[in-house]
């Protein structure tokens, strides 16, 4: 769906490569998310 091979996606998941803005936009469109929804994390508890 993203037009990339699994090796590239694996590098992104393991933080071995940076994700491009273009790829991030494709993911947000695919998942039908707004950027603020994508970056919303639960509160950190100490």
**1-46 pLDDT, tens digit each:** 888 889 988 998 899 999 989 989 998 999 999 988 888 888 888 7
Mapping DSSP onto H, E and C, the string for the chain reads CCCCCHHHHHHHHCCCCCCCHHHHHHHHHHHCCCHHHHCCCCCCCC
Give the model's pLDDT for residue 3. Answer: 82
Summary mean pLDDT of the chain = 89
Give the model's pLDDT for residue 18. Answer: 92
Q: What is the pTM of this model?
A: 0.65
């Amino acid at each position: 769906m993203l037009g990339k091979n699994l090796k590239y996606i694996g590098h992104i998941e393991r933080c071995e490569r940076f994700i491009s803005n273009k790829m991030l936009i494709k993911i947000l469109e695919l998942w039908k998310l707004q950027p603020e929804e994508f970056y919303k994390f639960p509160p950190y508890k100490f």
